[in-house]
Amino acid sequence: MKKKSLYNEKLLELWKNPKDFGKLENPTHEYSEANTICGDEMFVYLRVENEIVKDAKFFSTGCLICIVFASKLIEMIKGMGMEEVYELKDEDLLKLLDINLTPLKMKCACLSLDAVQNCLKKGKIKS
């Protein structure tokens, strides 16, 4: 089956109204990761209880591809265990939206996964 083009109507709609966009109240973890190619940043906020991601939000100055994949990823990880999130691979994320990506855009798409995994590893907020 033919993959969808880079910017279709559904993607534009998700980009204009991403889910879970903004800052989470009372996060247990927060972290920001920069795309080393363009410099755009991804901020991730997580609330983790008993090793489960109970809630999550993100904010980013990145491009459409970065935003739409982050929106899908954040939606997916809510309710997942930390170990499950660590085990996610770029391919798991890319499967969430079946679109053609150039190598440069792959980096944009996967920025959120790097940010989420590093947030769990390094972003615990000291209370």
Interacting residues of 122 by C-beta distance below 8 A, sequence separation 6+: 31
Question: What is residue 62's three-state secondary structure?
Answer: coil
Tell me the two tokens of residue 119: 């947030």
φ, ψ at 124 (rounded to 5°): -60, 130
As measured in angstroms, the least distance from the Cβ of 107 to ligand FES is 7
Binding of ligand FES at residue 41 (CB under 6 A)? Answer: no
Count of residues touching ligand FES (by CB under 6 A): 9
Which residue among 40, 52, 80, 118 contacts ligand FES (CB under 6 A)?
A: 40
Nearest to 31 by CA among 127, 94, 93, 111: 111
Q: Minimal distance in Å, beta carbon 52 to ligand FES?
A: 29
- 8 A C-beta contact, residue 33 and residue 114: yes
Give min distance, CB of 31 to ligand FES, in A.
Answer: 16
| 18 interacts with ligand FES by CB under 6 A | no
Contact by Cβ (8 Å): 67, 108: no
Query: Would you give the distance in Å from CA 44 to the centre of its chain?
Result: 8
- Minimum gap (Å) between residue 39 Cβ and ligand FES: 7
Site for ligand FES contains 38 (CB under 6 A): yes
Does the protein bind ligand FES through residue 108 (CB under 6 A)? yes
Is residue 34 involved in binding ligand FES (CB under 6 A)? no
**Contact footprint for ligand FES (CB under 6 A):** 35, 38, 40, 62-63, 65-66, 108, 111
